[in-house]
With several copies, the nearest count.
Chain A
Amino acid sequence: MFDIQKVREDFPVLRQIINKKPLVYLDNGATTQKPRCVTDVITDYYLRKNSSIHRGVHFLSSQATVEYEKARETVSQFINAKNKHEVIFTSGTTGSLNMLAFSFGEKYIKEGDEIILSEMEHHANIVPWQLLCERKKAKLKVLPFNDDGELLVDQLEYLITEKTKIISVIHISNVLGTINPIKKIIEIGHSHGIPVCIDTAQSIQHVPIDVQKLDCDFLAFSGHKLYGPTGIGGFYGKEKWLEEMPPYQGGGDMVDEVSFEKTTFNQLPFKFEAGTTNYIGAIAMAEGINYIQGIGLSNIADYEHELLEYGAAKLKEVGGVKIFGNAFARTPIFSFHIENVHPLDTGMIFDKMGIAVRTGTHCAQPIMQHYGVDGMVRASLSFYNTKEEIDYLCTGIEQVKRMFL
């Protein structure tokens, strides 16, 4: 086990006072806070080492290039990629999924083809595919979930046809906390020769991921949800796909030779990294990864599971709270309604108590449609949260009930 008080000291923002109350930050699904080591790296880079990468001959440039490639190595080892060049730096999960939809789509999707998503997807894993489908006259098919928030994986076999070209599913739901059986989904996909992408925006920071064991074809995540900076993210793709797929964006560094008549492209991973990349973002994201690896992903998963069990029990106890999702395997993300209270009212009262939660549709309107609601209140926890904070959340709920009911 790790020392929660010591861990909290690494995150100065957790000591903030909001509306005269100590901040209780339960909005980790939106973005995680940063340990000081991450900002130290950023400052150190900008003030002592900054220089554009791209194989420059001068010392600073060379040093930055080495550090950037070390960051790629860190990510590669973190997800256990077979090859370092299967890791592409992007602007975030949204950037990664758009790149995939475009490049995979350009190469493999034709009129009438089908793409399978789940009903549980974040908009980032819906809209890029919709835009693709519109361009190519292809079709989306949707794997549903039950009211407990569990994907009906058995139905996948029935959704798959000869026209199915790719399956893209969320690993952990940003609304319901469900840990989806991606290994099984990947196996089913592969048994039909269909590649599978997983959106790990909400999982990579909570559970260990091994792309070789999972055998997933693609994977996407965001640095800012992984205790790293904004504007950086990762994309993993098996070499065999990345070699075949055309580039997404054009610009410096992703090319080999350029003339107005004919341009040839650089090798992996550079083919997919056009222009000046967010190299300091990548280096700082790697520091965030090192930080949580220092704590240990399985220690994190264990402690967060404790928070899940504690929180689920407490929220049941408090009464008058409807929790959405009750999957067997899940993480401490609690989306709920205080019965007969608008989520916005709940959120506003919480705010004045120092509790930061998110309210609304959480970029997952199909989930809202599933449950027939306009929005939900979401408390999403991280390893730096405490049981006392869950207790205080319950105090907040009692307060809201007193005021509105």
Chain B
Amino acid sequence: MSTIKEVQEDIINEFEVFEDWMDRYNYLIELSNDLPQIDTKFKTNEYIIKGCQSKVWLNADYDDGKVVYTADSDAIITKGIISLLIRVLSNRSPKEIKETDLHFIDAIGLRENLSPTRANGLLAMIKQMKLYAIAYDVKFGNN
């Protein structure tokens, strides 16, 4: 399996071919289909991350030293970005997740989508993903 760094490089390369925003968004829409479907039992208020306008549901399981994320959103572009985040962070050790700098976001021009001023809840989502990692690290980690 590729490292987090490698996956981020892959994503950056994939996005490099797109000259304009519509292509990038089209690709995100495509990627939204790849999102590992969250079990419907987690699509409740308890698992919701509230942006102002779009809803994001997130769950994290712990499996053999790795955190496995599943998620969903009612907005498609948001879902596409989540699918990138999961591709990078899911199936990693808590320690790796905690320490990762998600530089690919900037590199592919999605930073603004993650700013706290945006309405999609993605920033809160990243925070929540890291929180899960920290929690599992405390519970199962050996430090």
Contacts and interface: CB of A to CB of B under 8 A. Distances in A.
Whether chains A and B associate is: yes
A66 B25 contact: no
B54 A352 contact: no
A359 B29 CA distance: 19
Interface string B104-132: 00000000110111111000000000000
Contact of A344 (B26, B78, B116): B78
A62 B53 contact: no
Contacts of B77: 344-345, 348
A333 B120 CA distance: 24
Contacts of A56: 119
B22 A403 contact: yes
A375 B55 CA distance: 12
Contact of B76 (A57, A62, A404): A404
A210 interface: no
A62 B117 contact: yes
Given A55-B119, A66-B117, A342-B75, A352 B53 contact: no
Contacts of B53: 55, 57, 343-344, 359-360, 374-375
B54 to A, nearest CB: 5
A341 B75 CA distance: 8
A342 B115 CA distance: 20
Contacts of B54: 342, 344
A99 B44 CA distance: 38
B76 A345 contact: yes
A62 B118 contact: yes
A56 B119 CA distance: 7
Contacts of A62: 112, 115, 117-118
A57 B118 contact: yes
A65 interface: yes
Nearest to B21: A352
B74 interface: yes
Contacts of B55: 374
B119 A359 contact: yes
A341 B74 CA distance: 9
B26 A403 contact: yes
Identify the interface centre among A57, A69, A399: most chain B CB within 10 Å of its CB.
A57
Contact of B120 (A65, A341, A344, A374): A344
A136 B55 CA distance: 36
Contacts of B78: 344-345
B52 interface: yes
A349 interface: yes
Contacts of B75: 342, 344-345
A403 B120 contact: no
Contact of A403 (B25, B112, B116, B117): B25
Nearest to B50: A256
A249 interface: no
Contacts of A399: 22
A55 B53 CA distance: 9
Nearest to A359: B53
Contacts of A369: none
Interface string B70-98: 00001111100000000000000000000
A395 interface: no
A55 B118 contact: yes
B119 A403 contact: no
Interface in A358-405: 359-360, 374-375, 399, 403-404
A57 B22 contact: no
Contacts of A43: none
Contacts of A403: 22, 25-26, 29
Interface of B: 21-22, 25-26, 29, 52-55, 74-78, 112-113, 115-120
**Top 6 A-B pairs ranked by shortest CB distance?**
A65-B117, A352-B21, A342-B75, A344-B75, A344-B53, A360-B53
Interface of A: 19, 53, 55-57, 62, 65-66, 69, 341-345, 348-349, 352, 359-360, 374-375, 399, 403-404
26 contacts: A53-B117, A55-B53, A55-B117, A62-B112, A62-B117, A62-B118, A66-B117, A69-B116, A342-B54, A344-B53, A344-B75, A344-B77, A344-B120, A345-B75, A349-B25, A352-B21, A352-B25, A359-B119, A360-B119, A374-B53, A374-B74, A375-B53, A399-B22, A403-B29, A404-B29, A404-B76
Given A374-B55, A404-B76, 14 more contacts: A55-B117, A55-B118, A62-B112, A62-B115, A66-B117, A343-B53, A344-B53, A344-B54, A344-B78, A348-B77, A359-B119, A360-B53, A374-B74, A403-B25
